[in-house]
Structure 1
Amino acid sequence: MQLVVPTLAHLDAYADALSRGWSPDNVRLEAAAREELALIAADPAAFVARLDDREARGGPITLPDGFQVPRLPGFRRWIWDGAFCGSINFRWQPGTEALPPHCLGHIGYAVVPWKRGRGYATQALALLLPDARREGLAYVELTTDPDNLPSQKVITANGGHLVARFRKDPAYGDQEGLLFRIPLA
């Protein structure tokens, strides 16, 4: 298993996963998948290019409640084992570990259902952490729902520890969440 930079050569496999009901967005699910399929259909090269946006030039992000917020610098990598397995993304604010209240962590990941249970999320997170170090961060934060035990195991397997229980921003339904931190030093 490896992380690959999204390319046109891998785009058909990504679009196929979206068409089969998978979504890279664990909150907006089907809506996000439909939006990405529409962007791919409109301009495949532009879609791939926008997945690596280290200067946050891509315009605002739409939250689940429809409100738009400024984009953070970030990038997405695809999890690949000879076929598409999922995606992992990393976002940050230059010069600080702090994130805006509407941002549910530095890193998010989603594995396609037909590849779950193989340790791919754990491996993908481990492979992404050096990139966070290179951005100068002392730690990354990740959030998960209290009942999402598989994701909690992914985080703790990579050195994460529970920092707090919290209420998610109202844009995410004001639900309870768990905040984990992975030290990078």
Structure 2
Amino acid sequence: MPIPEATSTARLVWPSHEYLAGYVAALERGWSPNNLRPEATQEELLLIRADADGFLKSLVDREAKGPPVALPDGSTVPRLPGYRRWLWDGEFCGSIGLRWQHGTNALPGYCLGHIGYGVVPWKSGRGYAKEALRSLLPEAASVGLGYVEITTSPDNVASQHVIRANGGVLVEEFIKTAELGGTPELRFRIALGHLA
């Protein structure tokens, strides 16, 4: 199947073999899908080389059947229901993930937010993160969330802009727990009632 031509905007796609080469190329250029654990880049490359089908299936885990999740300090915690989508404009642009607990908006203390995203540096500044977040919010409402929380560091002004552009309101500044790095963080909330 031919890969679509580049367009002026990115769209969300489900991880699949059609887009996997672009994802691998981004990892090989040093981009990490996990801003708390840069070593996830090499771990994912190894997983893809060992079992590409299994890797792709692991990115959509609505029932949290996958293995525990590694934290920056090396400890592991139970996986939450969730999935990742990829951003595509004819090339791989980044990823955005959604995680939740069934029947509640609450998240365990080891999970900083419902949504995490990252755009590859060579595609930044094009509004892709803002559009990806906007596109994912109805999906968050569809799993029963009344709001989503998203965190970012105080110095990440670009991410704060993305969140605010999608209706995010700052609810607190806090210090991450030691296992998550122990650094300052901002927590934003986006209400989803209008999308339900």
TM-score by length of 1: 0.98
**How far apart in 2 are the matches of 1:79 and 1:9?**
13
* Deviations 1:122-156 (CA, angstroms, capped at 9, x unpaired): 00000000000001111000000000000000000
**How far apart in 1 are the matches of 2:32 and 2:25?**
11
Alpha-carbon RMSD across the aligned residues, in angstroms, is: 0.5
Q: Which consecutive aligned stretches of 4+ in structure 1 deviate over 3 angstroms post-superposition? A: none
Q: Percent identity?
A: 60
Q: Indicate which of 60, 73, 97 corresponds to 2:105.
A: 97
Q: Indicate which of 99, 116, 120 corresponds to 2:124.
A: 116
Cα offset, 1:59, TM superposition: 1.3
How many residues are matched?
184
Q: Indicate which of 141, 150, 163 corresponds to 1:133.
A: 141
**How far apart in 2 are the matches of 1:116 and 1:70?**
32
Cα offset, 1:46, TM superposition: 0.5
Cα offset, 1:174, TM superposition: 1.3
Q: Indicate which of 3, 26, 32 corresponds to 2:12.
A: 3
Q: Indicate which of 41, 63, 71 corresponds to 1:63.
A: 71
Cα offset, 1:167, TM superposition: 1.1
2:141 maps to 1:150: no
What one-letter code is carried by the residue in structure 1 that aligns with 2:127?
G
Q: In structure 2, the residue corresponding to 1:165 is in which secondary structure?
A: strand
What's 1:51 paired with? 59
Q: In structure 2, the residue corresponding to 1:180 is in which secondary structure?
A: strand
What's 2:175 paired with? 167
What one-letter code is carried by the residue in structure 2 that aligns with 1:73?
P
Cα offset, 1:33, TM superposition: 0.2
What's 1:32 paired with? 40
Structure 1: state its 5+ residue gaps: none
Q: In structure 2, the residue corresponding to 1:152 is in which secondary structure?
A: helix
TM-score by length of 2: 0.93
